[in-house]
């Protein structure tokens, strides 16, 4: 079921209603930084999606999306991870609700490091180890696994907009990696 289908479901918002809500309320999001870990739990790779944005530009981004009405935060995380990484990614959603940070996306650039031209979104951000096979889904062109050092490369960071580069660096700092 694509995000569009979800929005068409009568239990949730129509596209028009969502547009109206976006002008009036902060929208709750989750962001996930998918990682590969070794046997000791140390992160070896970070998964980054490659997409074509609305303007036709290639960009890299993390996994994430809206939390729906009546949906648990952990179910929203599972849904977006499966939507973006495929049904056999086997994400290990964190056991505790405490996120490593909260990213506040403002429609006006510069209020915070995070920016979303469509809306004011507030996102609970988690690092999520994935153990299974991942395959980019929907509108993602590709999924790249980079080492933490590769992910910090300025070239990679420059291709991440909306502040996803900052969020990735904050995640790596939280993991104990030098940033």
Q: Does 6 bind its own copies (CB under 8 A)?
A: no
Which of 127, 125, 168, 128 has the alpha carbon at shortest distance from 149? 168
Residue pointed to by tokens 């902060």: 26
Asked if 161 contacts 55 with a C-beta cutoff of 8 angstroms, the reply is no
What is the C-alpha separation between 55 and 74, in angstroms, rounded? 32
Provide, rounded to whole angstroms, the least separation between the CB of residue 133 and its own copies. 16
Residues 31-60 that bind its own copies (CB under 8 A): 35, 37, 39-43
Q: Looking at 19-27, 53-61, 132-140, 141-149, which segment touches its own copies (CB under 8 A)? A: 19-27
Helix/strand/coil for 70 = coil
Binding site for its own copies (CB under 8 A): 12-13, 17, 20-21, 23-28, 35, 37, 39-43, 67-75, 78, 92-102, 104, 106-108, 111-113, 120, 122, 124, 127, 129, 163, 166, 169-170, 173-179
């Amino acid at each position: 079921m694509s995000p569009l289908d979800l929005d068409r479901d009568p239990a949730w918002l129509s596209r028009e209603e969502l547009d109206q809500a976006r002008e009036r309320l902060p929208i709750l999001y989750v962001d996930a930084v998918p990682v590969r870990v070794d046997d000791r739990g140390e992160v070896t790779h970070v998964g980054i999606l490659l997409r074509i944005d609305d303007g036709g530009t290639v960009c890299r981004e993390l996994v994430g999306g809206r939390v729906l009405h009546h949906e648990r935060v952990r179910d929203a995380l599972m849904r977006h991870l499966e939507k973006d990484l495929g049904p056999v990614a086997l994400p290990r959603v964190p056991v505790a609700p405490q996120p490593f940070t909260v990213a506040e996306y403002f429609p006006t650039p510069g209020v915070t490091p995070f920016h979303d031209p469509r809306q004011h979104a507030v996102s609970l951000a988690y690092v999520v180890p994935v153990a299974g096979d991942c395959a980019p889904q929907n509108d993602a062109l590709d999924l790249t696994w980079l080492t933490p050092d590769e992910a910090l490369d300025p070239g990679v960071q420059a291709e991440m907009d909306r502040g996803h580069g900052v969020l990735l660096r904050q995640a790596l700092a939280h993991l104990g990696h030098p940033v």
